[in-house]
Amino acid sequence: MNLEITSEPDPADENKIIAETRSFNLKCMPDDVKPLCVFDRLADGQIIGGLTGKTFWNYLDVSFLWVAEAYRNQGRATAILEAAENEAVARGCEHVLLDTYSFQALGFYTRLGYVEFGTLDYYAGDHTRHFLRKNLR
């Protein structure tokens, strides 16, 4: 065995692992992974909020949701997330999966109908990572 540990992998090496894992998964699941992004822009095109994620296997998997501090508490995050959920339903998704940290937006997500199904403690010493889901049906 010749193990290499690196924090600066060759992109080709990293892509090899990803491609082989996906190839294995496709033997059991359909290849329907599709990026889904929602951007909230000012009239000049400046992004002041948005969501990144992907849809696959009947799920919307949310990676990041952000709104610039000056535009928070105006319903923008709710509108962004609802737009993503609506697009996910149009793509055939039935569920949403996301996570948030204890210093982020747990209350926001639970108010929108998300249900916590797991936690991991001790991030950076005293923070918790919360895993949430929501049924879109």
Pick 11-135's CATH classification: 3.40.50.1100, 3.40.50.970, 3.40.1710.10, 3.40.630.30. Answer: 3.40.630.30
Write down the pLDDT at residue 31: 86
Q: CA neighbours within 13 Å on the CB side: how many for 17?
A: 5
- Residue 71, amino acid: Y
75-91 residue pLDDT tens: 999 999 999 999 999 99
Residue 51 structure tokens: 């969501």
Alpha helices, H only, 39-111: 76-90, 106-111
- Going by pLDDT thresholds of 50, 70 and 90, the confidence category of residue 44 is very high
47-56 and 59-67: which strand pairing? antiparallel
- Residue 103, amino acid: F
84-122 residue pLDDT tens: 999 999 999 999 999 999 999 999 999 999 999 999 999
Write down the pLDDT at residue 30: 83
Domain borders along the chain are: 11-135
* 72 pLDDT higher than 90: yes
